[in-house]
């Protein structure tokens, strides 16, 4: 550690050093817990005697600003900052914009008020199933490539080899029509939504989205100044006929509606595409967890039916692999792709190359498909167990909404069940339950629960739901 110390003349050196170090500590430039150089080393750096440095350190120690740890060195003592020395902030000219962003909610749903033994959180996957050994091997290969790779700049759109395996995978798994040239690699699906909205949404722009729906998407559109229309969802998905004139962007989750879980019917899909073409609106298809399907034939992505270039398909590896990976992708129409790549480059240049190399190898070697097949069996058993309980001893209070894909299902509450009270009491009993209410914006709230099964072990489901049943019986 090299300190920015400037000593003048040859007199009072210890006092000069003491005052400069004290000022740096008081101002916070030297943070609490930071280690100072040994007195011998600092004396050499400053060209003074070791006695000079030792005297300054001694005075700071006496002032309780430094403390010595035997065998480790000298450290700055933690203490309350000097508020009087802080500058008085002024009102920024952009305060209105700051306030608009600060008003946006950033939390998805409600977290339990205290740690719980059993958690039915939605959207989470099981780390116990992830092939860490294979991933570690792919990371090591990526590190070796990084070491011998001379290139310093990489395409904002993403590495060609990763875009190729993504295009191949989603064509096979979801029926998406695309090539590597249509794919944009992003830092998770959320960045994909941000980039698409950033190049299309202007203040006053009309955006339509499902209600109930995905709160972070709604908050993003509102933060960009859009007017967001809430469109109802029924047993066939988004009610297309309600989409207003002048709409420029439509956000949907057609394969596994978030949070209700219902799939959009074939007739509704064709109606939505026709409506978007008439309006000249872009559809964002968020296909967040539909690689896991449990009944019936595979429902292809909405993008497969698109003949007019109006669908932007968004996917993520956070649900299928690890949330920590933070890599997703978007398959974009030609009219949007270049602008989104520019926005991506201006935002963060490109997604981490090391992770892109590792993921390209991981997918290319077949580890992703093996992982999905392995997880499918695990998640299917968990889902069936929850459904069995909902159709059994929990049936007097809850009714499952039919859904055949994803990592969560939803259940509507029977009349008279106070869902908010249920979630609070279940939390007290050590079970994390999540109300559907936070996902509604303007439509009347349908009382019920979103029950994720990606992060709860099969053997934990019955003990957890036993506690939920006991709570419901106690509620009467």
Q: Any idea what the CATH number is for the domain that residue 41 is in? A: 1.10.10.10
Same domain, 234 and 261: yes
Q: What is the pLDDT at residue 204? A: 95
**What global pTM score does this model have?**
0.86
- Specify the pLDDT at position 32: 87
Burial class, 297, CB count within 10 angstroms (exposed 0-12 / middle 13-18 / buried 19+): exposed
Residues 394 and 462 in one domain: yes
* Residues 1 and 34: beta-carbon distance below 8 Å: yes
Quick one: pLDDT at residue 153? Answer: 82
Closest C-alpha to 251, from 331, 186, 197: 197
Structural domain harbouring 254: 131-365
Each residue of 233-262: pLDDT tens digit?
Answer: 999 999 999 999 999 999 999 999 999 999
329 & 428 share domain: no
304 or 79, which is more confident: 304
Instruction: Report the number of distinct structural domains present in the chain.
Output: 3
The answer to whether position 183 is within a domain reads: yes
Domain boundary (348, 365, 382) is at: 365
Task: Flag whether 261 is in a domain.
Answer: yes
pLDDT at res. 403: 85
**Residue 355 shares a structural domain with residue 225:** yes
Q: Tell me the residue ranges of DSSP E strands in 50-153.
A: 66-69, 73-76, 118-119
pLDDT at residue 4 tops 90: no
Higher pLDDT, residue 126 or 49:
49
Q: In terms of domains, do 246 and 361 share one?
A: yes
pLDDT band at 2 (very low <50, low <70, confident <90, very high): low
- Whether 381 is covered by a domain: the verdict is yes
Residue 346 is assigned to a structural domain of this protein = yes
- Reduce the DSSP state of residue 205 to 3 states and report it: coil
pLDDT given at position 111: 66
Q: What distance in Å separates the CA atoms of residue 314 and residue 311, rounded to the nearest whole number? A: 9
pLDDT value of position 80 = 62
CATH number of domain containing 411:
3.90.1150.10
CA-closest candidate to residue 189, choices 251, 143, 233, 131: 251
pLDDT at 224 over 90: yes
Residue 213 has pLDDT above 70, yes or no: yes
Element (H, E) at 247: strand 247-252
Q: Tell me the C-alpha to C-alpha distance, in Å, between residue 434 and each of 27, 336, 349, 354.
A: 45, 36, 37, 36
Mention every residue, 6+ apart, whose C-beta is less than 8 A from residue 178. Answer: 167, 170, 171, 303, 313, 331
User: Is the C-alpha dihedral spanning 378, 384, 385, 386 positive or negative?
Assistant: positive
Give the pLDDT confidence of 345-367 residue by residue, as tens digits.
999 999 999 999 999 999 999 99
115, two tokens = 């740690």
Are 102 and 212 spatial neighbours (Cβ–Cβ below 8 Å)? no
Phi then psi for residue 284, to 5 deg, are: -95, 115
Among the three residues 338, 365, 392, which one is the final residue of a domain in this structure? 365
Domain end point (choices 365, 392, 420)? 365
Residue 178 lies in a domain: yes
Write the CATH number for 310.
3.40.640.10
With a pLDDT cut of 90, the percent of the chain lying above it is 76
Let me know whether 290 and 177 are in one domain: yes
Q: Does 107 map to a domain?
A: no
Residues 348, 447, single domain; the answer is: no
Please check whether residues 361 and 456 belong to one and the same domain: no
Are residues 280 and 204 part of one domain?
yes
Whether the per-residue pLDDT at 81 is higher than 60: the answer is: no
Same domain, 216 and 335: yes
Average pLDDT over residues 29-33: 86
Q: Which residues pair with 398 in a beta bridge?
A: 413
The structure tokens 């009382």 sit at: 447
Residues 14-38, mean pLDDT to the nearest whole number: 89
Across the chain, mean pLDDT equals 92
Q: What is the total residue count of the chain?
A: 476
Residues 380-414: tens digit of each pLDDT: 999 999 999 999 999 999 999 988 899 999 999 99
Q: Which two tokens stand for residue 103?
A: 């008003």
Are residue 157 and residue 23 in the same domain, yes or no?
no
Token pair of 288 as six digits: 């967040």
H and E: helices and strands count for the chain: 14, 17
Residue 302: inside a domain? yes
Q: Please, which pLDDT band fits residue 78 given cuts at 50, 70 and 90?
A: confident
Please report, for residues 3, 20, 53, 100, 231, the alpha-carbon distance to residue 9 in angstroms, rounded to integers and kept in the order given.
18, 15, 16, 54, 75
Residues 388 and 462 in one domain: yes
Confidence of residue 418 (pLDDT cuts 50, 70, 90): very high
pLDDT at 151: 74
In a domain, 231, yes or no: yes
> For 325, which DSSP code?
G
Q: Which of 111-115, 338-342, 383-387 has the lowest mean pLDDT?
A: 111-115
What is the tens place of the pLDDT at every residue in 273-315?
999 999 999 999 999 998 899 987 777 899 999 999 999 999 9
């Amino acid at each position: 550690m090299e300190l920015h110390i400037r000593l003048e003349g040859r007199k009072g050196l210890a006092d000069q050093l003491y005052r400069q170090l004290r000022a740096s500590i008081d101002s916070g430039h030297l943070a609490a817990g930071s280690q100072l150089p040994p007195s011998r080393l600092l004396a050499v750096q400053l060209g003074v005697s070791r006695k000079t440095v030792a005297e300054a350190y001694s005075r700071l120690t006496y002032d309780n600003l430094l403390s010595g740890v035997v065998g480790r060195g000298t450290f700055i003592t933690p203490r309350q900052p000097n508020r009087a020395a802080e500058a008085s902030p002024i009102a920024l000219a952009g305060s209105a914009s700051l306030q608009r962003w600060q008003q946006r909610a950033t939390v998805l749903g409600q977290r339990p008020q205290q740690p719980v033994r059993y958690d039915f959180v939605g959207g989470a996957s099981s780390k116990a199933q992830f092939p860490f050994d294979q991933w570690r091997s792919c990371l090591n290969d990526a590190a070796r490539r990084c070491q011998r790779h001379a290139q310093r700049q990489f395409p904002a759109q993403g590495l060609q080899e990763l875009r190729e395996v993504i295009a191949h995978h989603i064509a096979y798994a979801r029926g998406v029509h695309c090539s590597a040239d249509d794919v944009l690699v992003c830092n998770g699906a959320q960045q994909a939504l941000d980039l698409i909205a950033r190049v299309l949404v202007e203040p006053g722009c009309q955006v339509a989205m499902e209600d109930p729906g995905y709160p972070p998407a709604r908050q993003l559109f509102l933060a960009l100044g859009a007017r967001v229309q809430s469109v109802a969802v029924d047993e066939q998905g988004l009610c297309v006929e309600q989409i207003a004139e002048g709409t420029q962007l439509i956000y949907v989750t057609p394969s596994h509606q978030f949070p209700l879980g219902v799939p959009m019917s074939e007739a509704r899909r064709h109606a939505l595409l026709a409506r978007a073409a008439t309006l000249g609106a872009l559809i964002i298809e968020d296909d967040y967890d539909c690689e896991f399907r449990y009944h019936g034939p595979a429902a292809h992505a909405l993008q497969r039916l698109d003949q007019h270039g109006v669908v932007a398909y968004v996917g993520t590896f956070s649900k299928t692999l690890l949330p920590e990976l933070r890599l997703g992708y978007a398959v974009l129409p030609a009219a949007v792709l270049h602008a989104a790549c520019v926005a991506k480059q201006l935002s963060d240049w490109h997604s981490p190359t090391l992770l892109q190399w590792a993921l390209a190898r991981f997918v290319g070697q077949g580890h992703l498909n093996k992982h999905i097949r392995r997880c499918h069996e695990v998640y299917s058993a968990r889902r069936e167990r929850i459904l069995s309980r909902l159709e059994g001893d929990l049936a007097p209070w809850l009714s499952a909404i039919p859904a055949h894909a994803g990592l969560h299902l939803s259940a509507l509450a029977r009349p008279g069940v106070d869902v908010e009270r249920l979630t609070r009491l279940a939390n007290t009993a050590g079970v994390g339950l999540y109300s559907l209410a936070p996902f509604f914006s303007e439509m009347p709230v349908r009382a019920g629960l979103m029950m994720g099964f990606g992060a709860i072990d099969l053997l934990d489901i019955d003990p957890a739901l036993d506690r939920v049943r006991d709570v419901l019986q106690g509620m009467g």
